[in-house]
A = this chain, B = another copy of it.
Amino acid sequence: MTAQMEILCIGNELLIGKTLNTNAHWLAKRTTILGITVKRITVISDDTKEIARALQETLQRKPRFIITTGGLGPTFDDKTLEGIAKGLNRKLEVNPKALKMVKEKYETYLKQGKIGKIELTPARVKMATLPKNTEPLHNPVGTAPGMMTDFKGTLIAALPGVPPEMEAIFDESLVPILKREAGKQAFFESSIYADRIMESNLAPLIDQAMRDNPHVYIKSHVYVKTDPQTEGGKPHIELHFSTTAENRKTAEKRLNKTTAQLSELVQKNGGKTRAVEKAGKQE
């Protein structure tokens, strides 16, 4: 079984439908490709108690990794570190390594003439105030460091909500760890389109193909475009095949065999299939 991750997205803007959660999508895609299974994504508000509660609930499910996004900045509504401290029952304290990271950022801004003098205001020191026994993560893009800590076998990492910052810290600090954990396991996928057949008629065919190919997961996706009738109209059905394997050769063999079998079944039942993309690791 592959290692499991849960993603915890913190931000009222996600709960009021102001911001589309592209961070969760980006993280889920990257993590899956690396061979780690994303088990759950939870979105919660900028509320210390709620963050602590959700973290504790997540820890009870014992995933190998928890990644949080959002709430690391200098403003009052950035409550992630406070929430994590509460959730882990650890004190908050100014982390000297994190403070050095923050200072160095402002020194750079000073040199670049972007600020007139360096003042470590409370709002700036806040970004370096981490739960006890945690490691700050270097932020190559913005000011607020990320944070990482271990709790009873679960690695918790906190990343900012600003996408370029979140992505940069993930790539720099977390990808090497996730790769090590995944070992040779990687995720492979492919898709074909099925036309002239209803999803309800596809159902037993998918069942059969999955029974004969136990390592491949098949999922049908209905896309409704111009014609609003999903079934009976002209829906657009994608058949998505995925597998986790130690190498591309094994994965492609499995995916190709399953695709060929299901295509044949669809055709026997009056449908048509057409290629979308070749099997392979997503980029």
Contact = CB atoms under 8 A, between A and B. Distances in A.
A143 interface: yes
Given A42-B41, A105-B231, A232-B115, A164 B204 contact: no
Given A162-B222, A229-B142, A240 B22 contact: no
Given A29-B16, A105-B232, A76 B40 contact: no
16 contacts: A16-B187, A17-B30, A17-B31, A17-B32, A18-B189, A19-B221, A20-B20, A40-B45, A40-B54, A75-B199, A75-B206, A76-B206, A109-B231, A127-B200, A162-B224, A165-B230
Interface of A: 12-22, 24-32, 37-46, 54, 57, 73-77, 105-106, 108-109, 112, 114-115, 121-124, 126-127, 141-143, 162-165, 187, 189, 198-204, 206-207, 210, 217-224, 228-233, 240, 242
Contact of A210 (B76, B200, B202, B206): B76
A27 B17 contact: yes
Given A74-B199, A123-B204, A162-B224, A41 B15 contact: yes
Given A12-B217, A75-B219, A163-B224, 10 more contacts: A17-B28, A18-B189, A18-B240, A41-B43, A73-B200, A73-B220, A75-B203, A76-B203, A108-B232, A162-B230
Of A12, A37, A121, A200, the most chain B CB neighbours within 10 A belong to A200
Contact of A203 (B16, B31, B123, B224): B123
Contacts of A123: 200-201, 203-204
Copies in the complex: 2
Contacts of A231: 105, 109, 142-143
Contacts of A74: 199-200, 202-203
Contacts of A142: 222, 224, 229-231
A153 B155 CA distance: 37
A229 to B, nearest CB: 7
Contacts of A232: 105-106, 108-109, 112, 114-115, 143
A114 B210 CA distance: 28
B40 A24 contact: no
Nearest to A108: B232
B39 A42 contact: no
Contacts of A26: 17
Contacts of A202: 74-75
Contacts of A22: 20
A233 B21 CA distance: 25
Contacts of A44: 39-40
A221 B231 CA distance: 42
Contacts of A223: 162
